[in-house]
């Protein structure tokens, strides 16, 4: 084996210690539809339309019609959706990092064991070579054939045969061990390449999240106090309309399921987190993102589930919305980029988005993709 592979192996072992900075999403970011800049054409210069008043530099004119605030709300929703897509990709990378670091640690352990075994085998081979040197360079077989003592010939026959078998076994074992060591080294090198690629993609996800959140915060900062209050009212109004329509469809008319023991424990955990801030990539204890809240709730209930909302949707058992019970997870949007925990009576607990806290909301206030049950 060349020194290049051994160098890679040494680096792989080092990577295990620093692996938390590695890994990243393997998929591209979905882009939510862009909404044009909501700045209305109303001028704030002298001669502007009555009722328009100048605001802070860069702020949106006041008063701002509801239709324009709705455009602002749509733009914000798009930006935060993009951030949610990147956050799910970032979280998936974190999970992949954990798996890869465990594999590297296991490879390092197995490689060290094989190296020790190979060193021992080579010591044995060296001892045999030294013994042959002490006997004038003659192998045990040659010494046996050249012996003039008939009794020694008879006595040594078995020893020679055993020695030949041992030598062949030693040679074969050295070969197998060297091949195994090479395999482990190649695997470690491949894992390192994956980790490096993931590291770059993860940085791209991190930048995407920060850029989208920064864009949203800049847009919100342009709103004056009354505009922000009106925007918040419009958001609540839209959520109420969606919830009322959802409940009015009768979807929960037959829903009578009670929480399982673990489901009740998960709900209790989620309830205890009310008021804690949303932070992307966070899994508690002081802050959460949407899937960080649901995955930690079920982990505390003794039933670990996938970390991301998309994997929760892919891997957990799907149940009809009409049959959902407290503790089930409600997955939102066509790309499964948001998740909440159903707590009964048509309500959920979720970590909404940056700038918000863990809160109770109507289960139908956002577009539902489906429902999954961790302990089905």
Q: What is the pLDDT of residue 206?
A: 84
Q: What is the pLDDT of residue 15?
A: 36
Spatial distance between the Cα atoms of 367 and 235, rounded to a whole number of angstroms: 14
Neighbours of 124 (CB within 10 A): 15
Q: Examine the residue annotation and report whether 81 is marked as an active-site residue of this protein.
A: no
Q: What is the pLDDT of residue 6?
A: 44
Angstrom CA distances, 132 to 136, 138, 158, stand at 7, 6, 18
Q: What is the pLDDT of residue 75?
A: 87
**Residue showing tokens 């989620």:** 270
Bridge partners (DSSP) listed for residue 344: 347
Q: What is the pLDDT of residue 131?
A: 60
**One-letter-per-residue 3-state SS of 43-81:** CCCCCCCCCCECCCCCCCCECCCHHHHHHHHHHHHHHHH
Q: Single out the residue of 274, 280, 308, 279 nearest to residue 294, CA to CA.
A: 308
Q: What is the pLDDT of residue 20?
A: 34
Q: What is the pLDDT of residue 276?
A: 98
Contact 289/278 with Cβ under 8 angstroms? yes
Read off the tokens for 98: 């954990």
pLDDT digit string, tens, across residues 13-53: 333 333 333 333 333 333 333 333 444 333 333 333 333 33
Q: What is the pLDDT of residue 7?
A: 47
Q: What is the pLDDT of residue 100?
A: 73
Q: What is the pLDDT of residue 161?
A: 56
Q: What is the pLDDT of residue 292?
A: 96
pLDDT digit string, tens, across residues 284-298: 999 999 999 999 999
Contact 36/106 with Cβ under 8 angstroms? no
Q: Examine the residue annotation and report whether 338 is marked as an active-site residue of this protein.
A: yes
Angstrom CA distances, 350 to 33, 149, 254, stand at 24, 92, 24
Q: What is the pLDDT of residue 58?
A: 55
Q: Examine the residue annotation and report whether 303 is marked as an active-site residue of this protein.
A: no
Indicate which residue of 17, 81, 318, 338 is catalytic. Answer: 338
Q: What is the pLDDT of residue 115?
A: 72
Ranges of the chain with pLDDT below 50? 1-57
Homologous superfamily (CATH) of 225-373 is endopeptidase domain like (from Nostoc punctiforme) (3.90.1720.10)
Neighbours of 28 (CB within 10 A): 10
According to DSSP, residue 257 is labeled P
Indicate which residue of 81, 303, 318, 350 is catalytic. Answer: 350
pLDDT digit string, tens, across residues 215-244: 988 988 888 888 889 888 999 999 999 999
Q: What is the pLDDT of residue 30?
A: 35
Q: Single out the residue of 65, 31, 76 nearest to residue 235, CA to CA.
A: 76
Q: What is the pLDDT of residue 142?
A: 56
Contact 320/252 with Cβ under 8 angstroms? no
Indicate which residue of 17, 81, 290, 318 is catalytic. Answer: 290
Q: Single out the residue of 33, 37, 32, 42 nearest to residue 71, CA to CA.
A: 37
């Amino acid at each position: 084996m060349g020194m290049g592979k051994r160098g890679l192996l040494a680096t792989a072992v080092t990577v295990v210690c620093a692996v938390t900075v590695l890994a990243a999403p393997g998929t591209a970011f979905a882009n939510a539809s862009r909404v044009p800049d909501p700045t209305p054409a109303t001028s704030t210069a002298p001669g502007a339309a009555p009722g328009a008043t100048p605001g802070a530099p860069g702020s949106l004119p006041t008063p701002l019609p509801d239709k324009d605030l709705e455009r602002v709300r749509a733009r914000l929703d798009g930006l935060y959706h993009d951030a949610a897509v990147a956050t799910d990709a970032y979280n998936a990378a974190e999970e992949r990092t954990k798996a890869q670091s465990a594999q590297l640690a296991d490879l390092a352990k197995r490689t060290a064991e094989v190296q020790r075994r190979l060193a021992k085998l080579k010591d044995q081979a060296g001892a045999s070579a030294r013994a042959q040197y002490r006997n004038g360079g003659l192998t045990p077989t040659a010494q046996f054939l050249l012996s003039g003592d008939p009794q020694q010939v008879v006595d040594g026959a078995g020893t020679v045969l055993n020695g030949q078998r041992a030598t062949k076994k030693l040679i074969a074992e050295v070969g197998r061990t060297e091949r195994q060591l090479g395999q482990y080294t190649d695997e470690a090198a491949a894992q390192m390449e994956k980790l490096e690629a993931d590291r770059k993609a993860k940085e791209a996800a991190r930048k995407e999240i920060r850029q989208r959140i920064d864009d949203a915060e800049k847009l919100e900062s342009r709103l004056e106090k009354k505009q922000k209050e009106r925007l918040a009212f419009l958001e609540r109004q839209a959520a109420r309309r969606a919830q009322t329509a959802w409940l009015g469809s009768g979807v929960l008319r037959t829903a009578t399921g009670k929480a399982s023991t673990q489901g009740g424990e998960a709900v209790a955990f989620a309830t205890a987190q009310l008021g804690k801030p949303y932070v992307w990539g966070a899994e508690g204890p002081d802050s959460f993102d949407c899937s960080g809240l649901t995955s930690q709730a079920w982990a505390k209930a003794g039933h670990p589930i996938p970390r991301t909302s998309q994997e929760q949707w892919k891997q957990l058992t799907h149940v009809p919305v009409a049959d959902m019970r407290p503790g089930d997870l409600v997955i939102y949007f066509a790309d499964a980029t948001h998740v909440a925990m159903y707590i009964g009576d048509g309500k959920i607990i979720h970590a909404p988005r940056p700038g918000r806290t863990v809160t109770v909301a109507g289960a139908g206030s956002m577009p539902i993709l489906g429902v999954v049950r961790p302990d089905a």
